[in-house]
Amino acid sequence: MINDKQHLIFIGFMGVGKSTIGKELSRQLHLPFIDLDEEIVRRENRTISEIFQSEGESFFRKVESEIFADIVQNKKPSVIATGGGIILSDQNRSLMKPHLTILLEASLDSLFDRVTKQQQDRPLLKTDTDMKLRMKELYHQRLRLYRQSADFIILTDNKSVDSIIEEIQNKLGLK
């Protein structure tokens, strides 16, 4: 199901495990791994929180889209972990179409538990007094776009990294 011209692109809400799963899958498939957020930090020479704070979300989304396009169009096939908001752009969703896009999905309760441990790294949640309500709003705003963009969906609640990887490999016809 995967060819030598396609990237494997992970999408999903913040905290769902895109980087963790992507990194392990890339290791097992002997493909390069690219964490889009890490690439943004590297190229901008500042954290995502710093970008949001000094330039705002619209500037961040512009940079995110430019770097995503560069990676998807100019790199050899890789496993790419995107940020949770990548699907907000029509251009980004179009760039995903020729590639295999995997949606990792989890319940809001699971995501909330994971994200509260990393709240300082989540600029969209920093300013809100009710983080759970803000997460719920963002999640429901994005869910339809995630599902429309995905070639397949993997539910991650109560599953180990190994079982998620195995499920993905089965869907890709690699096992």
Sequential DSSP letters for 118-132: TGGG-HHHHT-S-HH
Give 8-32 pLDDT, tens digit per residue.
999 999 889 999 999 999 999 999 9
Residue 173 known to bind ligand = no
Q: What are phi and psi of 33, to 5 degrees?
A: -115, 130
Residue 20 known to bind ligand = yes
95 neighbors 43 (Cβ within 8 angstroms): no
Hey, CA dihedral for 77, 165, 167, 174, is it positive or negative?
A: positive
- pLDDT score recorded for residue 133: 82
Question: How many Å from the N-terminal Cα to the C-terminal Cα in the chain?
Answer: 11
Give 93-136 pLDDT, tens digit per residue.
999 999 999 999 999 888 888 777 655 555 555 555 677 788 88
Which amino acid does the sequence have at 6? Answer: Q
Q: Which residue has the higher pLDDT, 90 or 112?
A: 90
Residue 142 known to bind ligand = yes
Residue 42 known to bind ligand = no
**Is the pTM above the cut of 0.75?**
yes
Give dist(CA 151, CA 102) in Å, integer.
Answer: 6
Give 25-56 pLDDT, tens digit per residue.
999 999 999 999 999 999 999 998 889 889 98
71 neighbors 10 (Cβ within 8 angstroms): no
Q: What are phi and psi of 152, to 5 degrees?
A: -155, 160
Return the CATH number of the domain spanning residue range 8-159: 3.40.50.300
Give dist(CA 171, CA 175) in Å, integer.
Answer: 8
- pLDDT score recorded for residue 87: 96
Residue 122 known to bind ligand = yes
124 Cβ contact partners less than 8 Å away, ≥ 6 residues apart: 14, 52, 57, 85, 134, 138
Residue 18 known to bind ligand = yes
Give 157-166 pLDDT, tens digit per residue.
999 999 999 9
The Cα angle at residue 92 between residues 102 and 138, in degrees rounded to 5: 70
Task: Report domain extents, the chain.
Answer: 8-159
27 neighbors 174 (Cβ within 8 angstroms): no
